[in-house]
Amino acid sequence: MTCPFCKENIIDGAIKCKHCGSMLNLDPYNTITVDNITADEIRAFVGTNAYYYIQNFSKFTILGREKFCVTWNWNCFGFTFLWMLYRKMYALALVTFIVFCIPGVNVLLHIGAGMIGNYLYYRHVKAKIIEIRSSQLPHNFLPVLKEMGGVNSWVITVGIIISIILTIFIAIFFSTMIASMGHLIGMTI
């Protein structure tokens, strides 16, 4: 059997593709009913982890109209700025970066972002799909969704580099503090 989404070979009768993570037995009526956005359109735009997002996006449109409800996104909670860059939400990434500069707001921002991150991403995906749908011919639509959507894989590399640099700076700071405290203790004895 071949996965209809990533075209990799999988076990016959599989429920979920082991390569791309897509669910293979999705209900054909599984659509996001606001603006007639289908699960296939979302899958094409979102790319990585599409099934997770389709599940969460459907919570915002259960009654056929868009309504916010709290969901949790661990990646958005832990890496708010980087997650938004990874998911190509550049304006929101800039806003979160600026808000991070305000002392004492970091923890609250992370918690709030974890709770509303999926909804913010849903709004972003919906707006982009509608924009692309209005400007593309039907035969170009899905390839353009895949190209314009997806993720920025370079963000992972940048995040790792920033983490390494911060770790080095913290190690230097604390080693300097310990050395100066040792010097002060030596002077008082």
Q: What percent of the chain has pLDDT over 90?
A: 55
Sorting pLDDT into bands at 50, 70 and 90, what band is 144?
very high
Please classify residue 89 by burial: count the beta carbons closer than 10 Å to its beta carbon, then call 0-12 exposed, 13-18 middle and 19+ buried: buried
Is residue 186 situated within a structural domain? Answer: yes
Is residue 182 situated within a structural domain? Answer: yes
* Residue predicted with more confidence, 89 or 1: 89
Range(s) of the domain holding residue 168? 153-189
Max Cα-Cα span within the chain: 82
Number of H helices, E strands in the chain: 8, 2
Are 24 and 54 within 8 A, CB to CB?
A: no
Please identify which residue in the block is written with the tokens 């921002």. Answer: 109
- pLDDT tens by residue, 4-29: 777 888 888 777 778 877 766 655 44
Is residue 32 situated within a structural domain? Answer: no
Section 129-140 average pLDDT: 90
Written as one string, the DSSP assignment of 54-97 is HHHHHHTTTTSS--------HHHHHSHHHHHHHTT-HHHHHHHH
Is residue 163 situated within a structural domain? Answer: yes
Is residue 183 situated within a structural domain? Answer: yes
Exposed e or buried b for every residue in 6-41, given b needs 16+ CB within 10 A? eeeebeeeeeebeebebbeeeeeeebbebeebbbbb
Is residue 185 situated within a structural domain? Answer: yes
Q: How many domains, the chain? A: 1
- pLDDT tens by residue, 22-70: 766 655 445 465 678 888 899 999 998 998 999 899 889 877 788 999 9
Q: What percent of the chain has pLDDT over 70?
A: 91
